[in-house]
Structure 1
Amino acid sequence: MSGASAITSGPGLFTEPLILLIAAVIAVPIFKRLGLGSVLGYLAAGVAIGPVAQIITDSSAIFDVSELGVVFFLFIVGLELKPARLWAMRADIFGLGLAQVALTGTVLTAVFWAVGWAIQPAIIIGFGLAMSSTAFAMQILQDNNEIATPYGEKSVAILLAQDLAVVPLLAIVPILSPMTGTSLASASGVALLKGVAALAIFVLAGRYLLNPLFRLIALARAREIMTAAALLVVIGAAMLMEEVGLSMAMGAFLAGVMLADSSFRHELEANIEPFRGILLGLFFIAVGMSINIDVLAHSWWRILLAVPAVMVIKAALLYGLNRLFGASHNDAVRTSMLLPQGGEFAFVLFASATAARTLWPSETPLVAGIVTVTMALTPLSVWLGRFLIRGEAEDTIEEDFEGAGGSVLVIGFGRFGQIVSQILLARSLDATIIDANPERIRQAARFGFRIYFGDGTRLDMLRAAGAEQASIICICVDQPAITNQIADLVLDEFPAAKVYVRSWDRAHTLELVGRGVHYEIRETYESALAFGADTLKGLGFAPADVQATLADVRRRDAERLALQAAGDLTSGREIWKPVVVQPEPLMPPKPPGARHRPAGTVTPPADGSPVPASPSAEPAAEKPERQLEPNP
């Protein structure tokens, strides 16, 4: 009976997770392929299975679980921010961030009061909408790898300040309620004491408890317990902060900061990352499912007016405050277009206000709908922000090319050009080096190199650098298109010079050969050959065998390159025949008096072409089975 019961209850238990996974797997790749991002994909999946198809109608339970995705995400962000770096951001957190909350909340309160709302709900709505979505903003920053950029750090600082503002905002709710007479001073005082106590616990635990705990668990060598400990720390920190009135995300973030200097940081990040990804996606799906179609249909004109008004006001204030605190125009635009939406905390604040009758239940769906729509429009606002970005001012250096000219002209002083230049300078050759990156030139000057600032695609720069007197012009830049442009210019204008070029890959090599350069080399070719040679040596192959193998590889590569130059990239494939390794049984049969071939013997190709020599040419009858005996 129990077995039958388990079987019949099984499908109901897994139906909703299965539907959520199917929706995500279908929607997210499509939206990514269209260039709309994964966040919109998750939102579309939630809208499809929720308000549109009515497959899952209750999003509240999914919200409760998916909030852990935001918690885990903030923990990982905290791991990347060491306490010293967080301290360096204090001006942005307590200056820019808190100014944003206060100013935006005040302006939005005034707007909602002016259009007819009572002052108490106007305050709740105004400051609720002043918050931005940590989940949406951080996901976009991570997708674009921009968390560590100047505008990314300012955005993170603003989000942290908003989390800190949770305590006073929740304390204000009962003050504004007509059902309570609690004094503002006492409520705020208790909340402040709780917050300070929680922060003290965090600092002490991070300093004296967490690292010893993980060190002890690591000694047990049980990987699953390390994962369980990581989850324990994150969820425990989040719940502690929630108990004192702060957000769970803030608790997880602080736990991550406390462990940012730990030697277990990468292990913790690897253990949390799988949970973070799927749960954060679930959060976005839940946001899409929470969109109330009936409210949108009934009050569509109010939402149509409120959503762009809120987003424009927030973006304008964010831009002005960022400029006031020293951000460039482009960074201010990026931040303002990333954070104009309402945030997850608004749902919590509105629910608290509804319970205290500061906000009437009939009003809650409308303001929640405004928050949800602004969140859904975040990817669009980020995209629109690109059109407000000005061209970055180019960093230049005034250059007179005094003393330039020599037998060799090197164009490009990156990682490749630096090594080439060192070899030339080691022989005291009269070489001129130019590069178009001003910061690289300044760095080179600190190490005693005299590098000229110049753009290799400009004929006047090349002439000023002495290209007409050079015997060899070395093109060492790392962009294939720029390399081709410089090669064409040099070949046309300076026919007396030999042109040596750094190639990007095999296809680029063929392009350069077709252009008629005198010498080219793929940037990783020789290093890969050296790496492979040392690998053979490490396996015990004799130096002579290694050199023979390298010579054979070089010959085959040159033959195929010649065929490709005359044909296309598919030409010459027959030159590289796969080397077949004959597997042997563990106990190979041996006739009496016969010696068997050592395990792993390579069978030569049918055409008789050479193959790499084996580690030892001697028979191995006296050696243990499947043992490799290296040559001396």
Structure 2
Amino acid sequence: MASELHLSPVLSDALVILGAAGIVIPVFARFRITPIIGFILVGMLVGPFGLGRLVFDYPWLQYITITDPQGLEPFAEFGIILLLFTIGLELSFNRLWQLRRMVFGLGALELSISAALIAFVLMAMGQYWTGAMGLGLALALSSTALVLPISGTKSPVGKAALSMLLFEDIAIVPIIFLLGAMAPYAASDGMEGLWYTIWTGALTVIVLMVAGRFLLPRLFAQAARTKSPELFLAASLLVVIVASLATAAVGLSPIVGALLAGLLIAETEYHTEVEGITAPFKGLALGIFLITVGMGVDLGVIAANAWSIAMAVSGVLLVKALVTGAVLRMMGARRGTAVETGIMMSSPSETTLIVLSAAATAQLIQPQTAQFWQIVTAIGLTITPILALLGRKVARHVDAAPAPTEAEEDDDPTSGRAIILGYGRVGQLIADMMKRHDQRFLAIDSDPELAHLARRRKHPLLYADASGPALDRIDLSNASAIILTMDEPVLAARLLRRLRSHYPDIPIIARARDTTHAAELYRAGATEAVPETLESSLQLSEAVLVNIGVPMGHVIASIHEKRDEFREQLMREGQLTRKPKLKTSLADRVATKVETESA
């Protein structure tokens, strides 16, 4: 039984992949290099054109090589599906609607012009026009799997790249049908099949959107109530798989369904938790895809055709970079943004391999031609991170980095908002007061009942565990303040230290149980620590003094003086080594304001 397990191709390949992930990710992270290159290099090393060709001479190599490259393809496709799902989680229907002009304007121009120019060059070199068109459409595509993780989706470069890549993903279906219609043996109903796919696909998307709006909040609310990460993960994967299968069943790409599933979940308050819980699977599956790309690179063929391959790679990169940059400039983008996006988007795509296969199946190009351009595509994918780095450096020289506009800041849900960590009794009261004074805020909590309550009270809430790693995936650098409301002293102090180390300049106001806990929170970096025992005593004193006839203004001023005395006492007792930044002279300001209003 043990020997059979050791000889199992599935087990052997799984161990190679897990071992590659365990080595590549930390080593490349140590040198601050994207692991994308590492996974591709591993694929080249352990694939059939690397050490795999020596297995017959050295059988022990089967334990460190990929013995079944075709068996990895479903996992690679699933990695791309999960990638598009997480991209959908970062978006929303509002953002997508705002990008419609970029998607169907910029995206359509970039794809059509790039494809036409590449096809024209290939026709000039002797390629028949149908094959040249198929190759042009294939090579004009850019890599969603590599570009978006590098560029993000919120920067000017990321928005431009996202717009073009979204259009390319949508255009895959008509491109495949077009190649089939141009085939020498194409059926007469080729265009009818295209129209059938379009209308059934549109109907499927509408059904998924309507059903998702009603079902997903309830599904994730039930999963959240169980407090089971496993059930939450199962619900997330179920949504992705169902949406992908639905779109694939009607002829659309499964990545369309995955993107739609992400968009629908992004409209719920659970999207941050879903993104965090699916991230490890996405990274591993994407690594498998990149390994399969590397396995397609035959160094022997490259060496034999080095000059022609180098010219082909350079020509594709040059045409796409110039077209993308020019179209972006034409649509008003800054020079630096146009240059960086053009260079980063210049390499071919993982979907280029799909279109090349379709073109070869339709007999528009010869198998040898398809293999040549597959190698060109694999090389282009391999150097994409290098192109992104080059584009960033060139953009710095061409144009200074643009300051974020108001529209870009609005894409960040935390920009300019006070962040309330914990939506319990105290957090709800703070949210009410923030809303009453027209101040922007965002609550964060992982209790599904409180999330439902926030939705009913129209309070913005992000479903996430503020005490866990999910908080590290939320950028709070643009927040106006952070308020800690949890009633757990150890957790509050630990969380406050972590927040202060990441955001040294943001005001952090924390709830404390008593004066001793307040002193600990001050030492941890709190701007203000509010002890409940002290505040209840002060409120009781205020009620007594007002009811026996002391003027309200003087009472408020004396209460603030008492708070200042408390802080000074902590300083004297050595429990606090620094003076709090805020409200040190608040009592004087309140007294002055009261006297002015009285006068």
Q: Which of the five TM-score ranges fits, normalised by the shorter chain?
A: 0.5 to 0.7
Structure 1: how far apart are the matches of 2:163 and 2:401? 26
Counterparts of 2:67 and 2:5 in 1: how far apart (Å)?
20
Q: 1:27 to 1:263 in 2, by over 3 A?
A: closer
Deviating more after overlay: 84-93 vs 256-265? 256-265
1:177-208 alpha-carbon deviations (Å, 9 max, x no partner)? 11224355323212222321222222222223
Which of 385, 389, 394 is the aligned partner of 1:387?
Answer: 394
**Separation (CA, whole Å) in 1 of partners of 2:170 and 2:245:** 16
Residue 394 of structure 1 deviates from its aligned partner by 8.8
Q: Aligned residue for 1:205? A: 211
Give 1:48 deviation, angstroms. 2.0
Residue 28 of structure 2 corresponds to which residue in structure 1? Answer: 31
Deviation of the 1:245 alpha carbon: 3.0
User: Which amino acid is the alignment partner of residue 42 of structure 1?
Assistant: F
Give aligned pairs, total.
Answer: 425
Instruction: Judge conservation of contact 2:181–2:190 (CA < 8 Å) in 1.
Output: yes
- Indicate the residue corresponding to 2:234 in structure 1: 228
Aligned to 1:402: none
Which amino acid letter does the alignment assign opposite residue 387 of structure 1? V
Query: Helix, strand or coil: the match of 1:263?
Result: coil
Superposed CA deviations along residues 410-467 of structure 1, whole A, max 9, x for unmatched, are xxxxx9xxxxxxxxxxxxxxxxxxxxxxxxxxxxxxx9xxxxxxxxxxxxxxxxxxxx
Q: Deviations over 1:245-280 (max 9, x none)?
A: 332222211111122111222232222112112111
Q: Does structure 2 retain, via aligned residues, the 8 Å contact 1:166–1:245? A: no
Residue matched to 2:572: 551
1:549–1:246 Cα change, 3 Å: same
Change (3 A) 1:57 1:364: farther
8 Å contact kept, 2:13–2:67:
no
| Deviations, residues 88-128 of structure 1 (Å, cap 9, x unaligned) | 10000111011111111111111111111111221111100
Equivalent positions of 1:289-308 (< 5 A) are: 289-308=295-314
Of structures 1 and 2, the larger Rg is shown by 1
Change in 2 beyond 3 A, CA 1:57/1:316? farther
Q: Which has the higher contact order (CA 8 A, sep 6+)?
A: 2
| Structure 1 residues 154 and 366: alpha-carbon distance in aligned structure 2, compared to 1, 3 A threshold | same
Structure 2, unmatched stretches of 5+, are 53-64, 404-415, 417-438, 440-476, 478-499, 505-520, 538-562, 580-599
Closer, same or farther: CA 529–216 of 1 in aligned 2, 3 Å: closer
CA RMSD of aligned residues (A): 3.3
Which whole-Å CA distance do the structure 1 matches of 2:524 and 2:365 have between them? Answer: 68
How far apart are 1:305 and its partner, in Å?
0.9
Aligned residue number for residue 53 of structure 1: 51
Q: Measure how far apart 1:152 and its partner are.
A: 0.7
Give the counterpart of 1:255 among 261, 265, 278: 261
Name the aligned partner's letter for residue 301 of structure 2: V
Please, what TM-score do these two structures have when normalized by structure 1?
0.61
TM-score (norm 2): 0.65
Q: What is the alpha-carbon distance in structure 2 between the residues aligned to residue 117 and residue 195 of structure 1?
A: 34
User: Whole-Å Cα distance in 1 between the matches of residues 333 and 362 of structure 2?
Assistant: 40
What's the CA shift string for 1:217-241, capped at 9, x where partnerless? Answer: 4445543222111101112212222
Residues 608-619 of structure 1 aligned to structure 2 (within 5 Å):
none
* Aligned counterpart for 1:350 among listed residues 352, 356, 364: 356
Matches within 5 A, 1:366-385: 366-385=372-391
Question: Shift of the alpha carbon at 1:537?
Answer: 7.6
Q: Which moved more, 1:59-68 or 1:131-140?
A: 59-68
- Please state if 1:22 is matched with 2:43: no
Distance 1:358 1:536 in 2: 80
SS at match of 2:363: coil
Whole-angstrom CA distance in 1 between matches of 2:325 and 2:183: 34
Question: Alignment identity in percent?
Answer: 28
Q: Secondary structure at the match of 2:36?
A: helix
Q: Which runs of 5+ in 1 are unaligned?
A: 396-414, 416-446, 448-477, 479-503, 509-523, 559-632
Flag the 1:222–1:314 CA change in 2: closer, same or farther, 3 A. same
Shift in CA distance, 394/169, structure 1 to aligned 2, threshold 3 Å: closer
Secondary structure at the aligned position of 2:120 is classed as: helix
- Among 217, 221, 239, the alignment partner of 1:215 is 221
In 2, Cα distance between equivalents of 1:364 and 1:96: 29
Which among 5, 9, 24 is matched to residue 5 of structure 2? 9
User: 1:551/1:208 Cα in 2 relative to 1: closer, same or farther (>3 Å)?
Assistant: same
SS class of match (1:116): coil
Query: 1:337·1:382 contact (CA, 8 Å) conserved in 2?
Result: yes
Would the aligned equivalents of 1:168 and 1:191 in 2 still touch at CA under 8 Å?
no
